[in-house]
Amino acid sequence: GQNIDQPTEMTATEGAIVQINCTYQTSGFNGLFWYQQHAGEAPTFLSYNVLDGLEEKGRFSSFLSRSKGYSYLLLKELQMKDSASYLCAVNSGGYQKVTFGIGTKLQVIP
Amino acid sequence: DAGVTQSPTHLIKTRGQQVTLRCSPKSGHDTVSWYQQALGQGPQFIFQYYEEEERQRGNFPDRFSGHQFPNYSSELNVNALLLGDSALYLCASSLAGLGENIQYFGAGTRLSVL
């Protein structure tokens, strides 16, 4: 089976940096996604890591270590609009099945 | 370029009824996946359609069925509705084959079963 773990809630201050961790156990790993989901809205794509290392996209960066089954999403210069749930999802198997974690609800406070 | 569209946006049904939800994929995409998202949870994979066939399925009962049409649009059918089927149903489209296969989501259909 597959298992994805991430913290359920986090709080951070506007302008600060926050790191959201995700650990996973899966077979047939293809890659790892991070999605952002505002309350009542659809998930929106943030990043996709296939190889080990850090990928940076503006204020958001994502890191992957396949040997450790570990990823993190780094958000810099936090803004109030970053308050949302952040979903870690693993792409596995020959047909690209995507399995989501429970999501980390991030609250950004002034 | 139209993104993923779903209809209806909201639906209220009673126990035992049947429901059909619809999804049109992003232009150029050929694969449609359906997810159920309960409040406070991550999306749970229901099934995926490619070339008009169910290619893989999550841990959902046979009451959940689907269809994909030649234009790649898709339907999700749920029979004999239970209270526990109340959730946000998300459709995601992607392009099969090699590559990232990033899934793009529609806004969802919120189903309430009374």
Closest CB to A98 among B45, B50, B55: B45
Residue-wise pLDDT for A2-38, tens only, equals 799 999 999 999 999 999 999 999 888 999 999 999 9
Residue-wise pLDDT for B43-101, tens only, equals 999 999 999 999 989 999 999 999 999 999 999 999 999 999 999 999 999 988 756 67
Q: A4: nearest CA in chain B?
A: B42
CA-wise closest residue to B103 among B6, B33, B54, B1: B33
pLDDT at A96 over 90: no
DSSP string, B40-100: TS--EEEEEEETTEEEEE-S--TTEEEEE-TTS-EEEEE-S--GGG-EEEEEEEE--SSS-
The distance of A26 to chain B (nearest Cα, Å) reads: 15
Q: Which residues of A touch B50 (CB under 8 A)?
A: 95
pLDDT at B8 over 70: yes
Contact B41 A41 (CB under 8 A): no
Average the pLDDT over A101-109 and give the result: 97
Closest CB to A98 among B55, B103, B106: B103
pLDDT at A1 over 70: no
Residue-wise pLDDT for B11-53, tens only, equals 999 999 999 999 999 998 999 999 999 998 999 999 999 999 9
DSSP string, B12-29: EE-TT--EEEEEEPPTT-
Describe chain A by its helix, strand, coil percentages, rounded to 5: 5, 60, 35
Residue-wise pLDDT for A51-87, tens only, equals 999 999 999 999 999 999 999 999 999 999 999 999 9
Cβ atoms within 10 Å, residue B91: 29
Residue contacts between A and B (CB atoms, under 8 Å): 53
Contact B96 A96 (CB under 8 A): yes
